[in-house]
Amino acid sequence: MNYTVSFYNSSVQKEIYGWPTGIYAKFLRIAEQIEISGPNLGLPYTRALGEGLFEIRAKGPEGIGRAFFCCVVNREVVILHGFIKKTQKTPQKEIQLARKRLKYIKK
């Protein structure tokens, strides 16, 4: 039951690669687990946001990162958007960007 994790585009990949070391390391561990077990890891690692959108919840000593993803055919998980949280609540504009990219992919 192997999955593939890919990025929506190179700017999303570059953004996540630029995360602080501890947060990025946690993201990598979660992404590797998704490749092995699938995207339904559940809290505290992943969470469903509805309508086919999910989030990876990466927490490190430097803070918290969020990466939104969706699942497409052939067991592919696409990372749509990632950012470092600055507030307790996830900003709506970050979710809206991920949903916009999700709609584009699902066409």
Q: What is the mean pLDDT of residues 8-22?
A: 96
So what's the pLDDT on residue 1?
Answer: 61
Judge whether residue 15 has pLDDT over 80.
yes
Backbone angles phi, psi at 45, to 5 degrees: -90, -45
Instruction: Report, at the CATH architecture level, how domain 4-106 is classified.
Output: 2-Layer Sandwich (3.30)
The DSSP bridge pattern shows strands 46-50 and 63-72 to be: unpaired
Nearest to 49 by CA among 13, 11, 16, 97: 97
Token pair in block for residue 95: 């979710």
pTM: 0.92
Judge whether residue 52 has pLDDT over 80.
yes
CA atoms within 13 A on the CB side of 40: 3
pLDDT digits (tens, 9 = 90+) for 26-39: 999 999 999 999 88
Domain extent listing, the chain: 4-106
